[in-house]
Amino acid sequence: MEESFGHEAKVLLDRTEAVHIIACGTSYHAGLVAKYWLEEIGLQCSVEVASEYRYRRVVVPKNTLFITVSQSGETADTLAALRGAKDAGYLGSLCVCNVPESSLVRESDVALMTRAGPEIGVASTKAFTTQLVAFRLLTLAFARRRGMTQEREKELVDELHALPRQVEVVLKLSDAIREMANGFAKKENALFLGRGTFYPIALEGALKLKEISYIHAEAYPAGELKHGPLALVDAEMPVVCALPDDALLEKVLSNLQEVRARGGELFLFSDRTVSIGLDHYQNLTLDDIFPTTAPIVYSIPLQLLSYHVAVLKGTDVDQPRNLAKSVTVE
Ligand code: G6P
């Protein structure tokens, strides 16, 4: 990626000491995942929805890069935030965008194109996964500047190259996910849980479900379960959770135990190496997953789950009621 960046972009990245990421909808969730990745390499990062950011006073630390994320590059609030940021003391602006001729690309100092191809369905899917890939690349570019060894860089790049293979495997789960969706179609509510980068993935999973199947879905950081949402859990509450084999696994499993103790129905996606050890659940396993790219891979079964639920319910998957692909007015 570095090679495709011009001189201006390289200078911006060289000087960046913090980033502010601004976006709406699904693009905002991509920004939330990026925060975990960027802070992991020591870069301070805040993420905010554009409609909030644009109407409040913002303190801009020295050498902060302003990053917008948008599939369309025409979202009114995101564009307004960029315009408002021009005189706010930022180092410069970078957009992660899917439409080369968009206003956002034209008005940003630097553009990182996601190249997902035209996205037709209102609910963003491939734009989201490519935004995450763009943020992995950006994280690598910053990590290089923070002394990442060439060996480590090669490993991380190889993990990105494994994505097409991993996604193929997930797509083959589609029939099994359709079976899982049967347990959902008659529900009125659903709860998505996750920790770490999997909290924003849970947010995105819940957003997809409400957008296209009209089931009320909420996402919570699993550690917040006891601070409210547990009160909602009974046998009528499906709880969806991705279980990558990471450092937070045991914590999430103990949260899921709490759900089971209240009769909540578990719909899980896990790494094959994970031993779940709960009394009752539905689970589909994924193989060959790397921690750095796991959120990208796991977002796809969640998208498929919403897709199959929507098809079962007979809603219009591509054009959900009341929603627009691009929100160009406030
Ligand atoms: C609308 C779309 C969403 C999208 C959001 C932000 O709500 O329906 O799918 O995530 O706008 O759009 P953007 O083009 O800025 O990513």
**pLDDT digit string, tens, across residues 76-126:** 999 999 999 999 999 999 999 999 999 999 999 999 999 999 999 999 999
**pLDDT digit string, tens, across residues 103-113:** 999 999 999 99
53, 68, 71: residue to mutate for ligand 1 pocket, most atoms within 8 A of CB: 71
- Rounded CA-CA distance 242/268 in Å is 6
Task: Please report which confidence band the pLDDT of residue 6 belongs to, taking 50, 70 and 90 as the band edges.
Answer: confident
Cα(308) to centroid(ligand 1), Å: 21
Contact 13, 141 (CB under 8 A): yes
27 C-beta closer than 6 A to ligand 1: yes
21, 22, 26: residue to mutate for ligand 1 pocket, most atoms within 8 A of CB: 26
Residues in the chain: 330
Contact 64, 20 (CB under 8 A): yes
26 C-beta closer than 6 A to ligand 1: yes
**pLDDT digit string, tens, across residues 145-199:** 999 999 999 999 999 999 999 999 999 999 999 999 998 888 999 999 999 999 9
pLDDT of residue 3: 66
Mean per-residue pLDDT, 297-324: 95
Mean per-residue pLDDT, 45-65: 97
Mean per-residue pLDDT, 10-18: 96
- 63, amino acid identity: N
Mean per-residue pLDDT, 31-58: 97
* Cα dihedral 85, 86, 90, 96 in deg (nearest 10): 70
The reply to whether the predicted model has a pTM over 0.85 is: yes
71 C-beta closer than 6 A to ligand 1: yes
Structural element, H or E, at residue 110: strand 110-113
pLDDT of residue 8: 87
- Rounded CA-CA distance 163/169 in Å is 10
28, 49, 72: residue to mutate for ligand 1 pocket, most atoms within 8 A of CB: 72
Q: Which segments of the chain does DSSP mark as H helices, in order?
A: 7-15, 25-40, 50-53, 76-85, 103-107, 126-145, 150-161, 163-171, 174-182, 198-213, 249-261, 294-313
- Rounded CA-CA distance 107/76 in Å is 13
pLDDT of residue 2: 67
pLDDT of residue 183: 85
Nearest-CA residue for ligand 1 atom 15 is: 70
**CA geometry: angle at 298 spanning 268 and 167, to 5°?**
125
pLDDT of residue 1: 60
124 C-beta closer than 6 A to ligand 1: yes
**Chain mean pLDDT for the chain:** 95
- Rounded CA-CA distance 76/211 in Å is 20
